[in-house]
């Protein structure tokens, strides 16, 4: 084929690249947002709608030095976060692979032959047998209908979705480390209460045994005092088991083997601040990583509809080859030995047993599924924030009432022991009040832990922690 023909073929390919882009244009589905979060009117929150703790860095929310250190270690070494980051790199490579389909492929090669002939043949031919060739070939399928562009668009959207998935893992990791730390501090406090109670009950058993041996108290009083003692002794191993298991859980979050961790900050279970800005529900669409991930997946599904639709249209393929050859290496680059040709073909699907139609329908149904997933993620976010706000309010009230119960139980226990020593009450009254006090003290610590965790849940629900 002569040069004018090749020029025409290339011109046709250039025209093809300006073709249309089939497939639907993406539009964000509408999800009605409430004007305010449910629970915000009950919880003590800031009235400034433009501010939200979800916009703050985690170091501004969790100020305990030990906890900040653990969060930093987890962000550097946690395996789930490292796996998520690796998936982002994989998605980046997939974009490169997919995008390569838009460009021509170019291949080059060569061949050579040389042989030393026997004297009987070389006398007839006159020289050693030599031959060689060099060739260059190119192939291209112009993206006239946007098939490869839509594939690249879908791949890029999947990359964006994977990056938001990494952010969601980071956000969840910060919350897990904080929750585990508060659980450890709670167990520390419960063990301390149990140990203090144990000492007091050991003293009580010794006193009651003395009274029993002296005939001043019945044997039943001693047995009841022993019941209180063994209740405390049996609680300590169970609490220590939970603490050591939580330490192992923290070490896993830090990317380390099982072992002890330090948790001594006295202010870890302090009451939650009462001036918490939460913003407005519509802000969650831009702040929550899971919502952003769901929308990126929806965009990828929308692009895949265009990919499937492009399969209905004809595909133009162009190939071009050129080569040089000769019967000896000396004239290998002789222009008279060149060969140049180009080929163009057009293929139109006619019948594929419904495969193309099925792929198109499948892509549309997958898009509808992604729309529902996106809408659900938004409603889930609204629910998460509302539940967290309710928890902040109710856990604060629970902790305050539990503090009153502990104060009352402490005084009741003191009075019961005074009455018993004065002979005005049985030891059953002491047992009942002491048991109530022990349970109330443990429940107060649990309430303090739940209140601290409610702040973690609110921060995560508002999309904080991944920044």
The C-alpha R_g of the chain, in whole angstroms, comes to 38
Does pTM surpass 0.95?
no
Q: Which of 114-123, 238-247, 254-263, 347-356 has the lowest mean pLDDT?
A: 114-123
- Report the chain's mean pLDDT, rounded to a whole number: 86
| CA angle, residues 30, 32, 34, in degrees to nearest 5 | 155
Q: Within 10 Å of residue 199's Cβ, how many Cβ atoms? A: 10
Where in 290-337 does DSSP place strands (E)? 315-326
pLDDT cut 70: percent of the chain above it: 84
Residue 442 makes CB contacts below 8 A (sequence gap 6+) with: 190, 193, 194
- The Cβ-side half-sphere exposure at 449, using a 13 Å CA radius, reads 18
Whether pLDDT at 17 is above 60:
no
Residue 153, CB-side half-sphere exposure with 13 Å CA sphere: 21
pLDDT band at 5 (very low <50, low <70, confident <90, very high): very low
| pLDDT tens for each residue of 212-266 | 888 888 898 889 889 989 999 999 999 999 999 999 999 999 999 999 999 999 9
Q: So what's the pLDDT on residue 136?
A: 78
Burial of 215 (0-12, 13-18, 19+ CB in 10 A): exposed
Q: Are 136 and 57 in contact (CB under 8 A)?
A: no
Residue whose C-alpha is closest to residue 162's, from 53, 59, 276, 297: 297
Least confident residue range of 11-25, 97-111, 157-171, 285-299 = 11-25
Residue 156: the pLDDT is: 95
**Per-residue pLDDT tens digits for 384-394:** 999 999 999 99
What span, in angstroms and rounded, lies between the C-alpha atoms of 97 and 110?
A: 27
In this model, does residue 120 exceed pLDDT 70?
Answer: no
Give the Cα separation of 266 and 181 in Å (integer): 12
Phi, psi for residue 270 in degrees, rounded to 5: -70, 155
pLDDT in tens, 175-207: 999 999 999 999 999 999 999 999 988 988 988
Residue 308 near residue 117, CB atoms below 8 Å: no
Range of lowest pLDDT (29-43, 95-109, 322-336, 398-412): 322-336
User: Can you tell me the distance from the alpha carbon of 441 to that of 359, in angstroms, rounded to the nearest whole number?
Assistant: 63
Burial label for 172, CB within 10 Å (0-12, 13-18, 19+), is middle
Nearest to 216 by CA among 427, 362, 65, 42: 427
Structure tokens at 95: 């974009």
pLDDT at 378: 96
Q: Which residues partner with 113 through β-bridges?
A: 131
More confident residue, 65 or 214: 65
| Greatest pairwise CA separation for the chain in angstroms | 138
Most confident of 68-82, 309-323, 327-341, 345-359: 68-82
Mean pLDDT to the nearest integer, 360-367: 93
**Whole-number percent of the chain with pLDDT over 90:** 56
Which of residues 231 and 141 earns the better pLDDT score?
231
Per residue in 449-464, pLDDT tens?
999 999 999 999 999 9
Residue 10: pLDDT above 60?
Answer: no
What pLDDT is recorded for position 380?
A: 95
Q: Are 327 and 131 in contact (CB under 8 A)?
A: yes
Residue 129 has pLDDT above 60, yes or no: no
- Confidence check: pLDDT of 433 > 60: yes
Q: Is 272 left (phi over 0), alpha (psi -120 to 50) or beta?
A: beta
DSSP E strand boundaries for 75-208: 105-115, 129-140
pLDDT (tens digit, 9 = 90+) per residue, 266-280? 999 999 988 889 988
Query: What confidence score (pLDDT) does residue 247 get?
Result: 98
d(CA 191, CA 403): 18
What confidence tier does 15 reach under pLDDT thresholds 50, 70, 90? low
Given this model, what pLDDT does residue 2 score?
Answer: 46
């Amino acid at each position: 084929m002569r040069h004018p023909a090749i020029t025409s073929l290339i011109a046709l390919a250039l025209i093809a690249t300006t073709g249309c882009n089939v497939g639907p244009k993406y539009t964000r589905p509408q999800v009605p947002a409430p004007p305010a979060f449910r629970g915000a009117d009950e919880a003590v929150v800031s009235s400034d709608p433009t501010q939200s703790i979800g916009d703050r860095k985690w170091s501004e929310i969790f100020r305990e030095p030990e906890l900040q250190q653990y969060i930093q270690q987890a962000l550097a070494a946690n395996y789930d976060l490292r796996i998520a980051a690796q998936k982002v790199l994989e998605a980046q490579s997939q974009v490169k692979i997919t995008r390569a389909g838009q460009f021509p492929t170019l291949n080059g090669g060569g061949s050579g032959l040389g042989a030393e002939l026997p004297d009987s043949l070389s006398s007839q031919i006159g020289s050693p047998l030599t031959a060689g060739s060099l060739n260059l070939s190119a192939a291209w399928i112009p993206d006239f209908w946007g098939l490869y562009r839509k594939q690249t668009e879908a791949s890029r959207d999947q990359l964006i979705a994977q990056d938001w998935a990494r952010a969601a893992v980071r956000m969840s990791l910060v919350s897990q480390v904080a929750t585990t730390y508060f659980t450890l501090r709670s167990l520390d406090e419960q063990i301390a209460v149990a140990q203090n109670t144990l000492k007091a009950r050991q003293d009580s058993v010794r006193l009651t045994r003395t009274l029993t041996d002296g005939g001043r108290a019945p044997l039943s009083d001693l047995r009841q005092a022993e019941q209180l003692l063994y209740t405390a002794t049996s609680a300590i191993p169970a609490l220590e088991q939970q603490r050591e298991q939580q330490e192992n859980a923290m070490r896993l979050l830090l990317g380390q083997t099982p072992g002890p961790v330090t948790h001594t900050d006295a202010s870890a279970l302090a009451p939650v601040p009462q001036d918490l800005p939460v913003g407005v529900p519509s802000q969650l669409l831009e702040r929550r990583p899971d919502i952003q991930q769901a929308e990126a997946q929806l965009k990828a599904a929308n692009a895949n509809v265009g990919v499937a639709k492009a399969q209905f249209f004809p595909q133009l393929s162009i190939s071009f080859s050129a080569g040089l050859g000769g019967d000896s290496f000396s004239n290998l680059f002789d222009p008279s030995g060149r060969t140049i040709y180009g080929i163009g073909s057009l293929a139109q699907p006619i019948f594929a047993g419904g495969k193309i139609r099925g792929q198109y329908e499948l892509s549309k149904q997958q898009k509808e599924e992604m729309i529902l997933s996106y809408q659900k993620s938004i409603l889930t976010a609204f629910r998460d924030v509302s539940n967290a706000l309710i928890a902040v309010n109710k856990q604060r009230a629970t902790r305050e009432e539990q503090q009153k119960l502990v104060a009352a139980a402490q005084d009741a226990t003191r009075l019961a022991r005074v009455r018993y020593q004065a002979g005005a009450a049985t030891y059953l009254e002491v047992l009942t009040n002491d048991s109530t006090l022990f349970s109330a003290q443990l429940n107060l610590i649990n309430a303090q832990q739940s209140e601290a965790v409610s702040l973690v849940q609110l921060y995560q629900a508002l999309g904080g922690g991944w920044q």
